[in-house]
Structure 1
Amino acid sequence: MNKRIGIITYHRADNFGAMLQCYALQEILRIIGYDAMVIDYRQPFTELIYSPWRLDIVKRGLVAPRLLGGYLFKVLPTLYKRHKLYDRFRKKHLRCTKPVKMAQDMPQDINVYLIGSDQMWSLHPTNDIIEPVYFGDFPKPMGSSIQGYAISSNIQSLHTIGTDYLKEATKRFKRLSFREAVIRDEVEHMTGRHGDVVLDPSLLLNFDEWDKLTTGPIIKKPYLLTYFLSNDTDNPEFRELVRDFGKRNELKVVDMFEIAYSPIDFLNAIKYASVVFAASFHATAFCILFRKTFYAFQSSDGRDIRYINLLNELNIGDRLITTCDINTLRIRKVDYSKTEADLHNLRQNSFNYLKSL
């Protein structure tokens, strides 16, 4: 099997989930037997927001000295450190093409252009502008195909993009698959085009594949790791309750963003935690992959639906709690006795999809 697969995704985002799902998709394709690589498309807005050198902030800071000082002495050093570590990960672990800055420069030695995973059809990562490349609008050689894997979005973005554009876009795809059933169903309702539902790539690699990337503990004492991405959990009142929980259980409370500056740090932080509190899909997914004791928190903004579905599919829905439960919460280990078998079954459909690219 010598098909050359070019992945188009948010590999340039300095974001734990975006980077690790890209790495996982590349690796699982190579394990299957494809000649897989990441097309190094430099999406303009992604390049702007993840660059440590923010000239837009400096310009605003010329009339706001406090803003400029905060950026130069606090924000810039942190962003620079993160960006350097992410670039190191990209260079070491991703097999990228030469940089592509315009759709017409898309490499033409590709058999399958595989768009996904991640929020490829959401508008917020591109500053509410439709990115044609992510909808397959670029030149390709005769005989090649454009396919989607685990594309994600949100209902609002799909409606803003509109039925007419989506209908034209889906015609370019030989096959489509989505990360969430609700997005698959909405695209089908708007365009008449059916797609599959598949797993996020991070879940396709097993423990051994992920463990080989880890390097050791960041924190040397028992700790409770928090990774909060919802308003329900990322607020001072709830964080005070979390600190109280840590004291009751003799655990140091550590925020992911205070210790993890790279994808490797993210994996280390989860692997060596005593307990993890998560309001994030990828934090939940990697807790499962590393067989950790964890709790996932419900949120009122709808961002929890992905990990709620995952927990229910793996029959560990008891790990889902509300912020109110923390006052009476007692640490209980997760019963992983059947999880591996359930995850194996979920993987098969995704493997079959990728094997038939």
Structure 2
Amino acid sequence: MKAGVITFHSAHNFGASLQTWALQRVLKNNHIDAYVVNYHPPIIDDLYNPLKGKEGIRKRLAELKLKHDNPRSLQRFKNYTHFIQKQFDLVGDYTDYQELADASLDLDAYIVGSDQVWNSEHIGGFDPAYFLDFVNSGKIKISYAASIGKDYLLPIYHDRIRNSLKSFTSISVREKSAVKAVKELAGRPVDVVLDPTLLLPKEDYEVIKTVPSMKEKYIFVYMMEHNPEVIAFANRVSTATGLPIIQRRPGKLFRNEIGSCYTSAPGDFLGLIENAEYVITNSFHGTVFSIIYETPFVSMLHSNTGSRTVDLLASLELDSHLLYSKEEFKDFEQFKILEPEKLRKRILELREFSLSFLIDALNNNNIQTKVQCPTDISKMDCYGCRACKEICPVGAITMVPDKEGFMYPVADEKCINCGACSRACIRKHEHIISYEKSFPKVYCAINKEEEVRLGSSSGAIFPEAARYVIEEKKGAVVGVRYDEDMNAISDIAYTMEDVKPFLGSKYVKSDFEGMFPKIKKLLAEGRTVLYSGLPCECAGLRSYLKKDYENLFISEILCHASPSPKVYRQYIDYLNKKHGSKVTNLQFRNKSKGWLSTDASMVIEFASGKSITVNTRKNDYYRSFTKDYISRPCCSKCGFTHKNRVGDITMGDFWGIKDIDPSMYDNKGASLLLVNNERGEALWNGIKDNFRFKESNIRDAFRKNHKKPNPYKPERMEFFGRLDKEPIEQLLESCNDLKQ
């Protein structure tokens, strides 16, 4: 794919150059042929070109005069011009919009952003180039981290902007404060993503960074506009520390100043920031690179565009680095990045989301498209819970797999637009339990029967809950088993012998077609039912039933994510072929060598009688699952994490119990149990005598279990882009970092 970026690449300032360089680099890192559309109108160029309006001999004479009168201005101009020509893969050369429109560029995708490309003050009102009006129909049009520099768009341009945004395939902005204004005109979702410079780790900048030559320690003051507050504060810090100042403006401004980097190229700024003892800045990108290099800094806001710095620091929980006036400064702790590990983790999360937005946009929004059902949600939002399908009064909805193998609702011509599916949609109505005062109750539990525990994934709560419902309540249990072809399917058990296939984790999204109506029928007949499923499936059941049933126990599994049935199916078919016999059973977490993830084994049994055992953690399929490469898209937006529970009880592994309470650890499995309401407590009271258990708390319960959705990773899109194009075993192995 060939993609072109249009932005303020020709602006001779540190931020404009590096955000362009970073976006081009990110695209290339993701196997995109990236170009910078060389659109440089006079309104941008004339701000920086000391030879503007001069041609031929007049330009040469002007250059000689400038070399004598103001050599630093000429040197700065040449340094930036050299950087632009060397570092950007430029396409075309256009100084006005009509030239660009007439060029008929032949690229597959066009990206506008980042920088303040939608700030009317910077582009002379409305410039259709920065709204991609020159792009031919049918091409992908994306705004990536476009900025308006404030929280509004001038009303005089609303109609033109609204019309331009209609043809965009994806829209994102850099600042949260811009979302409302852009969304109102676009009439569609607008995402907030990172500035391109934050999409790269500092190591990527090594190819352009230069190290400053001075040996002494210094304070770096990066001041975009002349601000007496910044000058006074920097002088105060210099006096307090005894450190001299290096700054970016052409004239001397500070009492203890040892140099100006006015003529420095973009790579020079990186080195100056990285090696500074302190950075004082009112520049957005001065702030960004202080964060990237983890250099102690404070940000004093720019008078016109400070909101973007405020939004950035808020998103990274670095608000304490903001200094609204010099009087607010109390001590040097305000400069320090106090929790660098936490900061790196937060940047990584935002980076993964932003990269996912960009790569998905370039792939024509596979996950951002809406489901073909009146629920009016995107594929990214759809859990595939089937509530909409099962509740449809005219049977107009079927579940259809997409190219990744996940089921999505599709409505046909029988649809009467009654709204039942929308009302049932668990993305809109999640059915989260509202905890009463004494709940949740948290336990670590271990089944007293070791043989039963070894046959289950964790501490074996589910077998006892099933026994209680079947033998004491004469009820039925709904769980997941393998069919004769090793597909994971939902089924109903009426005996404990029928329950056995439900035991053990099955790391694939199961097929529970038609199960909700069967459960409703059993409940209506007065049968007690224990339903075990993923949280989204439990929410789907509650939504479908519409009312509470006293004879229903809902047990949700503490879920990591929901893997693709298509990937699983291809993996099973590969095993069948490789070993010349059908797989008849697959234990993902056999405990014969231990319960911990480093010890558990995957045991694969075949019809021939053959059995193979491998380390689960190092298995190619399992590794792709734990790395979130094969998960359903909605798992990255899951609403059922941490204390957002939908089951009467919640069961999972009590990861971390070895350190939290060694007395409850023997490497044979320990369960985390959340009792979420009185019905869950009634179920627990009916089985707790079969367990050795201790009360715990939410904090310890989620010390090792994830508290929020796993991020949507660019590697996931690469995985599914390669699926069906190469053998599944090669694809899975290439994604296993433990084998590399």
Q: Please state if 1:163 is matched with 2:158.
A: yes
SS in 1 for 2:341: coil
Checking the alignment, whether the CA contact within 8 Å between 1:225 and 1:273 is kept in structure 2 is yes
Structure 2 equivalent of residue 19 of structure 1: 17
Structure 2 equivalent of residue 286 of structure 1: 289
Greater shift in the superposed pair: 211-220 or 78-87: 211-220
Structure 2 equivalent of residue 249 of structure 1: 241
Q: Please state if 1:269 is matched with 2:272.
A: yes
Alignment CA distance shift 1:341-1:164 (3 Å): same
Checking the alignment, whether the CA contact within 8 Å between 1:218 and 1:265 is kept in structure 2 is no
Q: Please state if 1:337 is matched with 2:337.
A: no
For 1:212-271, what per-residue CA distance to the aligned partner results, in whole angstroms no more than 9, with x for missing partners? 32221143311111112356xx12x65244223212201001212321421112112111
Checking the alignment, whether the CA contact within 8 Å between 2:11 and 2:17 is kept in structure 1 is yes
Aligned equivalents of 1:180 and 1:186: distance in 2? 11
Alignment CA distance shift 1:210-1:274 (3 Å): same
Structure 1 equivalent of residue 73 of structure 2: 79
Alignment CA distance shift 1:74-1:194 (3 Å): farther
Structure 1 equivalent of residue 629 of structure 2: none
Aligned equivalents of 1:241 and 1:176: distance in 2? 39
One-letter code aligned to 1:143:
G
Aligned equivalents of 1:330 and 1:289: distance in 2? 20
Checking the alignment, whether the CA contact within 8 Å between 1:130 and 1:161 is kept in structure 2 is no
Structure 2 equivalent of residue 202 of structure 1: 197
Checking the alignment, whether the CA contact within 8 Å between 1:82 and 1:262 is kept in structure 2 is yes
Aligned equivalents of 2:331 and 2:246: distance in 1? 18
Checking the alignment, whether the CA contact within 8 Å between 2:110 and 2:140 is kept in structure 1 is yes
Q: In the TM superposition, what is the alpha-carbon distance from 1:74 to its structure 2 partner?
A: 8.5
Checking the alignment, whether the CA contact within 8 Å between 1:26 and 1:37 is kept in structure 2 is yes
Within 5 Å, give how 1:280-319 maps onto structure 2.
280-298=283-301, 301=303, 303-319=305-321
Aligned equivalents of 1:264 and 1:207: distance in 2? 12
Q: In the TM superposition, what is the alpha-carbon distance from 1:81 to its structure 2 partner?
A: 1.1
Of 318, 323, 326, which residue of structure 2 is paired with 1:324? Answer: 326
Of 124, 131, 137, which residue of structure 2 is paired with 1:135? Answer: 131
Checking the alignment, whether the CA contact within 8 Å between 2:230 and 2:300 is kept in structure 1 is no
Checking the alignment, whether the CA contact within 8 Å between 2:209 and 2:271 is kept in structure 1 is yes
Of 181, 185, 189, which residue of structure 1 is paired with 2:184? Answer: 189
Q: In the TM superposition, what is the alpha-carbon distance from 1:73 to its structure 2 partner?
A: 7.5
Alignment CA distance shift 1:49-1:229 (3 Å): closer
Structure 2 equivalent of residue 28 of structure 1: 26
For 1:110-129, what per-residue CA distance to the aligned partner results, in whole angstroms no more than 9, with x for missing partners? 00011111111112223x33
Q: In the TM superposition, what is the alpha-carbon distance from 1:76 to its structure 2 partner?
A: 4.6
SS in 2 for 1:19: helix
One-letter code aligned to 1:134:
Y
One-letter code aligned to 2:34:
A
Aligned equivalents of 1:262 and 1:161: distance in 2? 38
Of 202, 220, 226, which residue of structure 1 is paired with 2:221? Answer: 226
Aligned equivalents of 1:305 and 1:118: distance in 2? 13
The alignment covers a number of residue pairs equal to 336
One-letter code aligned to 2:337:
V
Within 5 Å, give how 1:52-67 maps onto structure 2.
52-55=50-53
Within 5 Å, give how 1:142-157 maps onto structure 2.
143-155=138-150
Alignment CA distance shift 1:155-1:206 (3 Å): closer
User: What residue ranges of structure 1 are gaps of 5+ in the alignment?
Assistant: 57-67
SS in 1 for 2:344: helix
SS in 1 for 2:39: coil
Aligned equivalents of 2:296 and 2:23: distance in 1? 26
Aligned equivalents of 2:156 and 2:174: distance in 1? 19
Structure 2 equivalent of residue 95 of structure 1: 89
Structure 1 equivalent of residue 35 of structure 2: 37
Structure 1 equivalent of residue 590 of structure 2: none
Q: Please state if 1:239 is matched with 2:231.
A: yes
Greater shift in the superposed pair: 73-82 or 46-55: 73-82
One-letter code aligned to 1:130:
F
Checking the alignment, whether the CA contact within 8 Å between 1:178 and 1:184 is kept in structure 2 is yes
SS in 1 for 2:111: strand
Aligned equivalents of 1:95 and 1:155: distance in 2? 31
Greater fraction strand = 2
Structure 2 equivalent of residue 212 of structure 1: 207
Greater fraction helix = 1
Q: In the TM superposition, what is the alpha-carbon distance from 1:326 to its structure 2 partner?
A: 6.7
Q: In the TM superposition, what is the alpha-carbon distance from 1:86 to its structure 2 partner?
A: 0.8
SS in 1 for 2:145: coil
SS in 2 for 1:134: helix
Of 106, 111, 116, which residue of structure 2 is paired with 1:114? Answer: 111
Q: In the TM superposition, what is the alpha-carbon distance from 1:157 to its structure 2 partner?
A: 6.8
Checking the alignment, whether the CA contact within 8 Å between 1:298 and 1:323 is kept in structure 2 is no
Q: Please state if 1:347 is matched with 2:341.
A: no
User: What residue ranges of structure 2 are gaps of 5+ in the alignment?
Assistant: 55-61, 250-259, 363-740
Aligned equivalents of 2:233 and 2:311: distance in 1? 27
SS in 2 for 1:39: strand
Aligned equivalents of 1:121 and 1:133: distance in 2? 10
Q: Please state if 1:176 is matched with 2:171.
A: yes
Q: In the TM superposition, what is the alpha-carbon distance from 1:144 to its structure 2 partner?
A: 1.8
One-letter code aligned to 2:128:
P
| Structure number with larger C-alpha Rg | 2
Checking the alignment, whether the CA contact within 8 Å between 2:152 and 2:178 is kept in structure 1 is no
Greater shift in the superposed pair: 150-159 or 257-266: 150-159
Q: Please state if 1:125 is matched with 2:122.
A: yes
Alignment CA distance shift 1:205-1:161 (3 Å): farther
Q: In the TM superposition, what is the alpha-carbon distance from 1:162 to its structure 2 partner?
A: 2.5
Q: In the TM superposition, what is the alpha-carbon distance from 1:147 to its structure 2 partner?
A: 1.5
Q: In the TM superposition, what is the alpha-carbon distance from 1:207 to its structure 2 partner?
A: 1.1
Aligned equivalents of 2:175 and 2:329: distance in 1? 32
Q: In the TM superposition, what is the alpha-carbon distance from 1:321 to its structure 2 partner?
A: 2.4
One-letter code aligned to 1:166:
I
Checking the alignment, whether the CA contact within 8 Å between 2:313 and 2:319 is kept in structure 1 is yes
For 1:317-347, what per-residue CA distance to the aligned partner results, in whole angstroms no more than 9, with x for missing partners? 2222233347643355322121110100011
Aligned equivalents of 1:134 and 1:50: distance in 2? 20
SS in 2 for 1:98: strand
For 1:8-29, what per-residue CA distance to the aligned partner results, in whole angstroms no more than 9, with x for missing partners? 1111110111110000000001
Structure 1 equivalent of residue 693 of structure 2: none
SS in 2 for 1:295: strand
Structure 2 equivalent of residue 62 of structure 1: none
Aligned equivalents of 1:349 and 1:238: distance in 2? 34
Structure 2 equivalent of residue 104 of structure 1: 101
One-letter code aligned to 1:108:
L
Aligned equivalents of 2:112 and 2:355: distance in 1? 16
Checking the alignment, whether the CA contact within 8 Å between 1:241 and 1:326 is kept in structure 2 is no
Aligned equivalents of 1:90 and 1:202: distance in 2? 16
